[in-house]
A and B are shown apart, each in its own frame.
Chain A
C-alpha cells in the first residue's frame, strides 16, 4: 500500500469549462485500471446530478490511482478534483495546496480562455508545476500547434512537451500518464517530524461521522492516534485512515506526501473545516500550514416553504445539507407575505442557487426564495450599531444615523478588447477603479472596489454577457464603507410584500424599482381586476406599473361530451395555482420571487 515518496504524484486537473477536464479524469481512472469499463460510469468524479448538468464540480474529491511506468517502477497518483467556481475559490486554493503539480487541459479548437488563465494563476500562486496537455485533437477544427504557441505566449510557460490527446477517444492517454511521472514533482516532507496534514475537503458520512480528505505534509497519521485541529484546538481520536480508490480502503497509516481520508468521530463538518491543519495532539507541530481562513457567508436570502409545504421538512433538509456544507448557515425568520421560513447565508450567488436546487431536487421540496441581501451595519442615532441582513429589520429612517455596506476587492481578468465594457459596468455598479494591469499584449487585470450588494444583484450575468464569457471574476471582502442606502419596497395591489423589499443605493432605487415592477407585470398573470405594482421608498412611490385586467377566461366547448379533456385542463390549471402565493387578492407565481434578481439582457 505504501510506496516511497519519490513514487507519489499529487496533482489536480485544471481547465476552462468544457475543455475536457472530467473526461480526462475518467480516462486516467480507466487506464490505470482502477475500475473496469463496466464499473466506470461517465465522469465518475462528478457525482451529483446537478454537477453533471451544470458541467461544474461543486464538491471536490480525491482519488488514488496505481500506475506502472515504462521505467518499470510503480507509482501512486493522487488526483484531486477542484470545484470550478469563484464562490468556491477558497476550496480550490486549498485543494491546489495539497498538490505538487497540475495538469492544464486546453481545448485544441478553442485555445486559451478566461478560466484557463484564472486557474493557471491560482496554481502558480500555490507554486505548482504546470503540465499542459492539448485536448480534443480529434476534432476537425483542432489547431494544436497554434494552441501550444498560445499557451507559451499568453501564459508564459513552456508547452513544447505538451501531449496532443483526445480524452474522449482515449488517444495518447499513456503520454499523459508518463508525463505525470516526468513533469510533476514528487512530494517532499519528513515522516519523522510531528504530524502536519491539510484538510482539503470534508463531508458527513452517517456511519463514520465526518470524513476528512487530507494531504499529509509531515509525520504520520494512524488509527488510535489523538489528533488536534489547529484552528479550533479541538481534539479527536482517529478511528480510521484510508485511501480512496473506487471505494474507501482502510490502511494502517498515512505518511508524509500521501493523500487519503481520516475518520475520527467528528460530529459536524464545522469541526473539520477545509484549510485547517491536523496535528498530533501530544506532539504538535509548531506552525499550522498557511492560508487557513474560516469561510463566512457573504450573501443572505430567505428560504420559505411554498404553499402546502411543511416548515419542518425544510428545516430538516437544511440541517442535512449543513452537515456536509460548513459554509451554509441558517436561522428561522418570518415574513408577512411568506409566513415561517429561514434566513440562510451562502458563499455567493451560485452557492445559493445550488442549495436551492438541492432542496428542490434531492429533498423534493417546494420552496420560495427572497431577494438576496448582504450584511449592513446600521449606526443608529442612539449610538447603537446593529447588523442586519434582512431588509425588513431596517430601523425607521428617523432612528438611523448612517449605514455602512460591505465592499469587495474585485479582480477581473479579461481580453483587453472588453476593458471599456467592463469599466462601464463597474461604473454602473458604483465601483471604484483601483488599477489596471496588462498581463500581456492581449490580457488585462482590472481591479475595482465594488459594493457587494451590487455584485450579488446581477453583476455576474452582466459581466458574462458583456464579455461574451471571456472575463473571469474573483472577489474578496475588503471591509465596510459608509453609503447612502435606502429600503426599496414593492407594493402589489397596494399591499407591501416584504419578500421583495431590498436595500439599495439611493441613486439606484428608481432604476431598480422600475425594473422589478416591469418584471412583475410580465410574471404575475392577469386577474379579473387591474393590479397596480408600485415601487416605493417609505411612503414615496417612485415607480408604478399596472397589470391590465383580464377580459375573458373561457374554456373550449366540451365537444362530443369529452368532459375528461376539460377536467384535465382544469387539473393542470389547478396545479399551476398551487405554485402561487396569495398576496391579498392577488396570486403571485413563485418564480416571481427569484426572477426579479435575474439579469435582464435588454438593459
Chain B
C-alpha cells in the first residue's frame, strides 16, 4: 500500500492580509457548509478514480484560516476521509490556526478527530508590523494561542514567522525569534516576504510606500536567524523550515520528495499516479465539475521520466540533506554528474552548491541563490 498525503484548502478568512495572494474569501456559515459538502464529494470522487491502494499518513488543513470555521465541518471532512481511505493510526494531521481564532471547544474537537499538529500563523511578534501586514491579531494573541494549545495537550506545534517585512530590523527578527523559541514549538517556519502582484503590498511597493529592508539586510536577517535557530536545537531541513529532531513536517516533505498527495478544495494541487492536477479557483466551476461527478481540475500535467527527474532536483535541492546521488541513479538510471555536468560545474564555481561522493546540496551561499541553481537544473 502506498502512503498518501491529503491537503484540504479552507479558503475563508475574516480579512485578507495585505501581502496575501492565496485564494481566500470572507464568508457566512451557509456558504461554508456548502463548500464542505463539496469537499466530501471530492474525496469520494478521488476514492473512485484512484487506481492503487493508499494509506493516508498525513493530512494538512490549510487556508485561508481553517481555525476560523466551526469544528463540526472539520469533523465532517476527516470522517469522510476515514470512510473513503485507510488512515494510518500514526498519521500526522495538521491544521493551520491564526491567533485569536482558537478556543477550548475547538481544540477539544481537534483532539477528538485526530488532529495532532497545529501550525500557528504568527508571522511577527511586533505589533506595528503585524498591523502593517493587515493581520487581525497582535503579539499577545500569539502568546495566548500557544498557551491555549498547550493547556489542551497539543505538544506538536509550529510557529510561522516572516522576514523582510516593512519596517522590520535585524534586531526585530532576532528578538522575535528568541521569544518564539521560548514558546517551545517543535517546528518553526521562516518565510521571506515576497511581494506578489495583485496584493496591496504590490501597489504600495510600486509607489515607493513600503519601507522594506534592503537585500543585504534581508539576507543578514535570514542567516542570523538560521544561526540562532540552529543554536537552539531547531535544525534547518529546508530553505524555510526548522524543526526539533524528529519533528520535520511529514506532509510538507512529501511536496519536496515527489510523494503522492491529493489536494481537496478550491485551487488545490495534487500529485498522484504520475500526474499533477490543479483545481479550479472559483466556486462555480469547482462545484459544477463535482456535480458532474468529475475531478474539479482546471489543468493537469502528466509527469514523464524527464519531468520527474527535473522536479526531483529542483525540489530536492531545497532540502538541507540535498540530493543523494545513489538514490538519483536508482530512480532514474543515470548518473547525475553526467547528465547535469554543466549546471554542476557552473554552480560549484559560483559557490552555490557543494558536492561530495554521496550528495549535492546548496551551500550557505546557495541558500540565497536557490532560484539560479534550480533554473540551471531545469530542463
Contacts and interface: CB of A to CB of B under 8 A. Distances in A.
B374 A562 contact: no
Contact of B62 (A529, A560, A563): A560
Nearest to A558: B255
Residue among A553, A560, A573, A574 with max Cβ neighbours from chain B (10 Å)? A560
B2 to A, nearest CB: 16
A529 B350 CA distance: 9
Contacts of A574: 375, 378
B240 interface: yes
Contacts of B261: 561
Contacts of A553: 368-372
A551 B217 CA distance: 10
A577 to B, nearest CB: 7
Which of B5, B194, B299 has the most chain A CB atoms inside 10 A of its CB?
B194
Interface string B210-244: 00000110110000000000000000000110000
Interface string B348-372: 0010100000000000000111111
A561 B263 CA distance: 8
Interface string B247-285: 000000011100001010001111100001010000000
A564 interface: yes
Contacts of A468: none
Given A552-B368, A555-B374, A560 B191 contact: no
Interface residues of A, number: 24
B9 interface: yes
Interface string B296-312: 00010100000000010
A567 B378 CA distance: 9
> SS class of chain B's interface: helix, strand, loop or mixed?
mixed
A387 B9 CA distance: 71
A554 interface: yes
B110 interface: no
A376 to B, nearest CB: 41
A559 interface: yes
A354 B256 CA distance: 49
A528 B311 CA distance: 24
A560 B371 contact: no
A561 B267 CA distance: 11
B332 interface: no
A559 B255 CA distance: 9
A577 B375 CA distance: 10
Contacts, number: 84
Given A551-B215, A552-B215, A566-B314, A560 B372 contact: no
Contact of B369 (A552, A566, A570): A552
A569 B192 CA distance: 17
A1 interface: no
Contacts of A557: 191, 239-240
A339 to B, nearest CB: 19
A31 B13 CA distance: 64
Interface in A545-603: 550-564, 566-567, 570-571, 573-574, 577
Contacts of B315: 558, 563
A562 B256 CA distance: 11
B7 interface: yes
A570 B314 contact: yes
Given A551-B216, A570-B314, A559 B22 contact: yes
A83 B251 CA distance: 67
Contacts of B5: 561
Contact of B374 (A556, A564, A570): A570
A476 B261 CA distance: 72
A561 B368 contact: no
B269 A554 contact: no
A561 to B, nearest CB: 4
B301 A564 contact: yes
B276 A573 contact: no
Contacts of B270: 561
Contacts of A570: 314, 374-375, 378
Nearest to B256: A558
Nearest to B371: A553
Interface string B172-209: 00000000000000000001101010000000000000
A56 to B, nearest CB: 35
B373 to A, nearest CB: 9
Contacts of B367: 554
A561 B259 CA distance: 11
A561 B255 contact: yes
A552 B164 CA distance: 12
Interface string A522-555: 0000001100000000000000000000111111
Given A560-B268, A566-B314, A571-B378, 8 more contacts: A528-B350, A553-B371, A554-B367, A561-B271, A563-B311, A564-B278, A567-B378, A570-B375
12 contacts: A528-B350, A528-B352, A550-B369, A552-B218, A552-B368, A558-B255, A559-B22, A561-B5, A561-B7, A564-B299, A570-B374, A573-B375
Interface of A: 528-529, 550-564, 566-567, 570-571, 573-574, 577
Interface of B: 5, 7, 9, 22, 62, 191-192, 194, 196, 215-216, 218-219, 239-240, 254-256, 261, 263, 267-271, 276, 278, 299, 301, 311, 314-315, 350, 352, 367-372, 374-375, 378
**Closest 6 interchain pairs by CB?**
A551-B215, A553-B371, A561-B255, A552-B368, A556-B194, A562-B269
